[in-house]
Structure 1
Amino acid sequence: MQTYATRVKQGEWHLYDDIRVAAPTWKEVCGRSAMSGWINSTSMGGAFSGGFSGRYRLLDQDPYWVDFPQFTHCDASKATVTCTVPKP
Structure 2
Amino acid sequence: MQTYATRYKAGVWKLYDDTCHAAPTYKELCGRSSMSSWMNSASMAGFSSGFSSKQRLLDKDEYWVAFPEFAHCGTADKLTCTVPKP
- What TM bracket, shorter-length normalisation? 0.7 to 0.9
**Separation of aligned partners in 1, 2:67 and 2:29:** 15
Per-residue CA shift, 1:15-52, capped at 9, x if unaligned?
011111122222323221100111101113x2333143
1:28 aligns with 2:23: no
1:49 aligns with 2:48: yes
Corresponding residue number in structure 2 for 1:76: 75
- Identity across the alignment (%): 62
Kindly state the Cα deviation for residue 55 of structure 1 after the two structures are TM-superposed. 4.0
RMSD (CA atoms): 2.0
Deviation larger for 65-74 or 2-11: 65-74
Kindly state the Cα deviation for residue 11 of structure 1 after the two structures are TM-superposed. 1.5
**Separation of aligned partners in 2, 1:24 and 1:63:** 30
Gaps of 5+ in 1: none
Judge conservation of contact 1:6–1:35 (CA < 8 Å) in 2. Answer: yes
Per-residue CA shift, 1:36-82, capped at 9, x if unaligned?
111101113x233314334442414x55433222122323223x211
Corresponding residue number in structure 1 for 2:9: 9
TM-score (norm. length: structure 1):
0.75
Gaps of 5+ in 2: none
Judge conservation of contact 2:4–2:18 (CA < 8 Å) in 1. Answer: yes
